[in-house]
């Protein structure tokens, strides 16, 4: 059975449009063909990265103290779940023009030199096996394709950096711009997610 890793970064929980769209996407996939591993960063936040944790990564495993083993395990567990997934689904609301800080804290645990990327004379090389990543980007206003959309280029660059290049964005914008705008945005997003789910299930 294939595995989906669903990473939710909304502080609104199940009321979030990004969560609801992601759940609708997962429901479109063949029932019984996918097992869902959920990483809810609202229910279980990842602490912001500190130097003590990075030092634990850089210390050989056999030389780590108990405290360093616990710190290294935070990143090790996240990376193991990313590697085990066949499809990654990201729920990403826009907060103050950027990604949620709790998602940034998680991504900081994924970027590990020698584990998920390496530097070569030709530049950085991602070490993760490529797999589909579906990003549900929900916004109160309309930002796609404008300089105010910092989410898309950042996520695209980060995911490509660690080797994930099969990235699909589903936008739902204008959600706070009135009922008609919200419904139009959600209808378009649902049509898009159906297309992507059909491609992945094929």
Q: Residues annotated in the binding site, as ranges?
A: 10, 16-18, 94-97, 138-141
Q: How far apart are CA 63 and CA 56, in angstroms?
A: 9
What is the separation of C-alpha 91 from the centre of its chain, rounded to a whole number of angstroms?
Answer: 7
Annotated binding site for FMN: 10, 16-18, 94-97, 138-141
CB atoms within 10 A of CB 66: 7
Spatial neighbors of 6 by CB under 8 A, at least 6 apart, are: 22, 26, 36, 37, 38, 39, 89, 91
CA dist., res. 80 & res. 76, Å (int): 6
**Distance (Å, whole) CA 2 – CA 114:** 26
């Amino acid at each position: 059975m294939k595995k989906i890793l669903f990473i939710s970064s909304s502080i609104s929980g199940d009321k979030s449009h990004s969560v609801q769209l992601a759940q609708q996407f997962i429901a479109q996939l063949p029932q019984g063909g996918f097992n869902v591993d959920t990483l809810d960063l609202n229910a279980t936040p990842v602490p912001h990265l500190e130097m003590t944790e990075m030092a634990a990564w850089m210390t050989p495993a056999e030389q780590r103290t108990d405290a360093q083993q616990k710190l290294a395990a935070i990143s090790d567990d996240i990376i193991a779940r990313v590697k085990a997934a066949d499809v990654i689904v990201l729920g990403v609301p826009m907060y103050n023009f950027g990604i949620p800080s709790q998602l940034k804290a998680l991504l900081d645990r994924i970027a590990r030199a020698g584990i998920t990327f390496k530097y070569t004379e030709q530049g950085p090389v991602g070490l993760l096996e490529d797999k589909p990543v579906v990003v549900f980007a929900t916004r109160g206003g309309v930002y796609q394709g404008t300089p105010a959309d910092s989410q898309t280029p950042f996520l695209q660059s980060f995911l490509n950096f660690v080797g994930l290049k099969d990235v699909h964005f589903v936008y739902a914008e204008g959600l706070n711009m009135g009922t008609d705008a919200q419904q139009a945005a959600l209808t378009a997003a649902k049509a898009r997610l159906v297309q992507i789910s059909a491609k992945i299930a094929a």
